[in-house]
Amino acid sequence: MLPPTPVALPPAIAKAMPPFPAGMVWLVGAGPGDPGLVTLQAAWALSQADAVFFDALVNADVLRLARGDVELNFVGKRAGCPSPKQAEITARLVAAARTGRRVVRLKGGDPYVFGRGAEEAQGLVAAGTPFRVSPGVTAGIGGLAAAGIPVTHRDVNQAVTFITAHDASGGLSARLDWGALAAGSPVLVVYMGFRLIREIAGKLIAAGRSEDEPAAVVAQATTPRQQVVRTTLGRLAAGADVAGVEPPALIVVGGVVALAPVLGMAAATLEPAE
């Protein structure tokens, strides 16, 4: 990781930023990966922070927006790897704020989109710790756009559904109604589902989606390592295997995937042979 080199905001922008007093926590969205997609408010918060607690999905280059003397704390979670519990993370945020520090909790994408930001906010409220939420660009929108896939198009869909594939145990969530999802939403965007890609495709096909429906996997979205596999729902898992895709990755199913060649994809596309 490169050493922090904070970027100063223009005075007019800095003047418009909300105050960040000592003893406060900001839950900040870091966007899908590209540092250029960080909001001005996020950049401001990082430049003011005394302590930053960041996730595994945060691009290291985003941390360069922080001060050189900032305290950096990695609190990321990875499937199958030892990681801090949610209650422990919240307790550390509260403790840091109580010492009079300005605390940033930096989360990939948007804190309130499958990021457990709401749980942390509830914990801060219970502890009486003042906080602010600074939204970020979620990968399910920004990441797909970078791959040439719009989540909506007037001629294709009037609805889109965002799904997190796994539950707290890490397995496929039993609370998902695959029949309703398959029938009710023309475009499905699945977060954190790459390990379960075969099960997800199988569930959707069994629920009535066509094996020939356009589908794609977008990995490392918006970064120089971005990888896009565009194929069909029935061949989705095989296509990801051939391409050697590794998480973090999004899955998208629906007619908007077919627009990618027209809109100009930002990364190479692999279409497995029949």
Residue 85: active-site member:
no
One-letter amino acid for residue 234 of the chain: G
Q: Closest Cα partner for 190 from 242, 111, 254, 136?
A: 254
Q: Which residue has the tokens 């989109």?
A: 113
Residues 6+ apart with CB under 8 A from 253: 187, 188, 190, 204, 209, 213, 214, 215, 233
Catalytic one of 55, 107, 203, 265 = 55
Q: Which residue has the tokens 């895709």?
A: 245
Residue 77: active-site member:
yes
Catalytic one of 50, 107, 110, 192 = 192
DSSP state at residue 35 = G
- Residue 82 burial (CB count, 10 A): 6
Residue 50: active-site member:
no
Start-end of H helices in 99-225: 117-127, 139-146, 178-184, 197-206
Just list the catalytic residues.
Answer: 55, 77, 192
